[in-house]
């Protein structure tokens, strides 16, 4: 039990540190890294071969995903976005009709647009699963360990994917400031297949 408490304490302090790091990134730098990662995603072989893609709508301190969403539609792929249930760790991935639709969706307490809970939408797992999940997070290490915001939405959803379909490829988008030496993890945490960020060693 002591080990679990230690991990949760380590996660808490790392979350606080990462939130501070993220607050320090100015709008211009955020846009620069977002553009760079948009290009990385669009050029990625996993993205190119995926037909059904789930992607998050960005919060203020996350990589901006708007241009990727537009590309998903331009390429004729199917786009799903998260619908979080705030009273639990349950999340669905529901179909988005168009990029233009986003601004008309109601806003949650986190200031993210998402379809209302009562609104009937196609859910990815019911209609054939997902090929690719592009996901957010607060911190990552180079081994693919991810530190989320503590609710477990993605971990829970990925377990559902694995039970119902073949596991989608998971790709996280991160500012280079979110890359940590080592992210503390426990048994519930699901690794991501790949973390995309601005890598100094890459061309």
pLDDT tens for each residue of 168-196: 999 999 999 999 999 998 887 889 999 99
Domain that holds residue 116: 2-196
64 labelled as ligand-binding? no
* pLDDT confidence band for 110 (50 / 70 / 90): confident
Q: What is the pLDDT of residue 203?
A: 44
Q: What is the CATH number of the domain that holds 34?
A: 3.40.50.10420
DSSP code of residue 139: E
pLDDT of amino acid 117: 83
pLDDT, the chain, mean: 92
Q: Number of structural domains, the chain?
A: 1
Cα-based distances in Å from 185 to 69, 91, 148, 161, 190: 30, 21, 10, 21, 9
37 is in an annotated binding site: no
Predicted confidence band at 1 (pLDDT cuts at 50, 70, 90)?
low
Q: What digits encode the pLDDT tens for the residues 128-147?
A: 999 999 999 999 999 999 99
31 annotated to bind ligand? no
């Amino acid at each position: 039990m002591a080990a679990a408490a230690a991990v949760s304490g380590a996660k808490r302090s790392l979350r606080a540190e990462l939130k501070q790091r993220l607050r320090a990134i100015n709008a211009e730098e955020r846009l620069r890294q977002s553009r760079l990662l948009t290009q990385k995603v669009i050029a990625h072989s996993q993205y190119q071969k995926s037909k059904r893609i789930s992607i998050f709508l960005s919060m203020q301190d996350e990589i901006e995903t708007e241009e990727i969403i537009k590309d998903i539609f331009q390429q004729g792929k199917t786009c799903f976005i998260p619908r979080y249930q705030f009273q639990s760790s349950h999340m669905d991935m529901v179909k988005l009709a168009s990029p233009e639709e986003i601004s008309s969706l109601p806003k949650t307490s986190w200031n993210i647009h998402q379809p209302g809970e009562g609104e009937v939408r196609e859910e990815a797992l019911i209609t054939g699963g997902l090929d690719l999940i592009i996901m957010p997070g607060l911190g990552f290490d180079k081994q693919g360990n991810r530190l989320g915001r503590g609710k477990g939405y993605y971990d829970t959803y990925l377990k559902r994917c694995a039970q119902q379909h073949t596991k989608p490829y998971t790709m996280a988008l991160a500012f280079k400031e979110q890359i940590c030496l080592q992210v503390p993890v426990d048994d519930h945490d699901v690794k991501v297949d790949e973390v995309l960020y601005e890598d100094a060693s890459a061309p």
